[in-house]
Amino acid sequence: MPLPAAPHFLLDQPYQKRDVLIRVGPEGANQGGRPPGLLLHWGQVHDEGVKGDAASGSQLAPLMASPGAARYERDKIGGHKEAASWIRRKAPSTHAEWDTTVDEAIVAQQLLGTAGLIVPTRLLAQADWPDGLQETLDAARRAAARHPTTDMSVNLILDERWIRDSRLRRTLLNQFTDLPEGIGAAVHIHWSAPDVPDRSASLEALRVVVSALAGDGRRVLLVEAGRLGWLAIAWGAWGFTAGLSGASWTRNTAVVRRAKGQPATRIARVFEPNLLQHVRQAVHTRLLGQSGYQPCPCGFCQRQAASGGWSHDLSGQHALYALSRLTEQVAAPTLQERRARIRIIVQNAINFEAGLSFRLTGDSRPMHLPEWLAQL
């Protein structure tokens, strides 16, 4: 099945609560829109879970599957169910190992009936410059010769330095644009900290990467990119993904240290499309009465309001519905039109904050908006 035209938002398959994620799809149709797509993850979910969600998510389109993998040599995922065959082995290093890994992953995707194929890779760190990248892209070049298709992408799992370091970035773009025409990029960045992607230098570097690949006729899918993936539509990205967890909106390697046995703190937050930002629940309540506030019509918000409390699941479902709706709002035949629509939405968010009767503070303040506007 061929991939549709840009732009597209795909739900990012989690290890847990996959049934909660799938229910986001029908809500879009209930509100008169189109359902989002679904990106399955062999690198994060056992083989049985990937196949099961492919069947239960049949109403989501397009259906794609990421073969991974940031980590290999894992017999089980989740402790008791088998990982995909190529993930159970060590990371490929020879031509033969690469070709076997790629072929098994492609056959698995073909059996699922995915829209397009994604070539597996491994996590590329700074130490992999330049030979590790070349090895990965050579495997993709051979795969394209063995599996001719117009809808093939390479799964680029990158340490952030491949984006932020000009030397590594230049090598990445030069070598990627050397690939056969039409091969796309599923770009999965591992940032060093949650706030790094919204910094001016990071935004500019990512804009350069996405614009260069898209300008070369490459389909660009930003994996686990959240609201930043939506912004990247203005730079030429074909699509982006996000899921229920914070990591699926911005994958980062920062280590949060807690005392032994201390559970993670869960703060009640709500994604506000009016601000393109998650805000604390108390802030969300205050925003409801502000001039110009546009309430979300989704059933998840209605159920949460009726409960009088806050639900992590309902809040997560609303956020994904909101990203899907934002993607629909900027859909247009040309990149110029999509960029113009995104610019209007970002400017409206800035204006909305400026018109509030109170000042947003702390992690509810959308500090990223001026930086975003500068990249549009």
What are the pLDDT digits (tens) for 185-208? 999 999 999 999 999 999 999 999
What range does the domain containing 112 cover? 8-242
Give phi and psi for 119, each to the nearest 5.
Answer: -80, 130
pTM over 0.75: yes
pLDDT(258) > 60: no
Residues 362 and 233 placed together within one structural domain of the fold: no
Residues 226 and 304 placed together within one structural domain of the fold: no
Residues 130 and 206 placed together within one structural domain of the fold: yes
pLDDT bracket for residue 259 (50, 70, 90)? low
pLDDT of the residue at 262: 60
Residues 286 and 230 placed together within one structural domain of the fold: no
Residues 237 and 280 placed together within one structural domain of the fold: no
In a domain, 233, yes or no: yes
Question: What is the percent of the chain where pLDDT is above 70?
Answer: 97
What is the domain-level CATH number for residue 168? 3.20.20
pLDDT of the residue at 173: 98
Listed range (72-76, 106-110, 265-269) with the worst mean pLDDT: 265-269
pLDDT bracket for residue 224 (50, 70, 90)? very high
Supply the DSSP symbol for 118.
E
The whole-chain average pLDDT of the chain stands at 94
Residues 41 and 157 placed together within one structural domain of the fold: yes
Residues 122 and 238 placed together within one structural domain of the fold: yes
In a domain, 16, yes or no: yes
Q: 122 or 257, which is more confident?
A: 122
- Rg for the chain, CA atoms, rounded: 20
Q: Per-residue pLDDT averaged across 108-137, rounded? A: 95
Residues 196 and 320 placed together within one structural domain of the fold: no
Structural domains of the chain, count: 2
Q: For residue 22, which amino acid is it? A: I
Q: Per-residue pLDDT averaged across 86-103, rounded? A: 96
Q: What is the pLDDT of residues 147-179, one digit of tens each?
A: 998 899 999 999 999 999 999 999 999 999 999
Cα separation, 58 vs 311, in Å, equals 27
Order of all β-strands in the sheet with 8-12: 63-66, 37-41, 8-12, 239-242, 220-222, 184-190, 152-159, 117-119
Question: What is the percent of the chain where pLDDT is above 90?
Answer: 87
In a domain, 2, yes or no: no
Q: Per-residue pLDDT averaged across 270-285, rounded? A: 97
DSSP-derived secondary structure for 49-109: HHHHHHHHTTTSSSEEEE---S----SEETTTEEPPHHHHSPPP-SHHHHHHHHHHHHHHH
pLDDT of the residue at 1: 63
Domain boundary among 242, 258, 277: 242
pLDDT of the residue at 255: 62
pLDDT of the residue at 368: 97
Domain boundary among 225, 242, 259: 242
Residues 165 and 81 placed together within one structural domain of the fold: yes
In a domain, 262, yes or no: no
pLDDT of the residue at 248: 94
Q: What is the pLDDT of residues 9-62, one digit of tens each?
A: 999 999 989 999 999 998 888 888 889 999 999 999 999 999 999 998 878 999
Q: Per-residue pLDDT averaged across 254-268, rounded? A: 67
In a domain, 256, yes or no: no
pLDDT of the residue at 154: 97
In a domain, 1, yes or no: no
Residues 236 and 274 placed together within one structural domain of the fold: no
In a domain, 190, yes or no: yes
Residues 226 and 370 placed together within one structural domain of the fold: no
pLDDT of the residue at 313: 96
- At residue 142, the 3 state secondary structure works out as helix
Residue with tokens 């809500």: 27
Residues 227 and 286 placed together within one structural domain of the fold: no
In a domain, 253, yes or no: no
Q: What is the pLDDT of residues 349-362, one digit of tens each?
A: 999 999 999 999 99
Q: 267 or 163, which is more confident?
A: 163
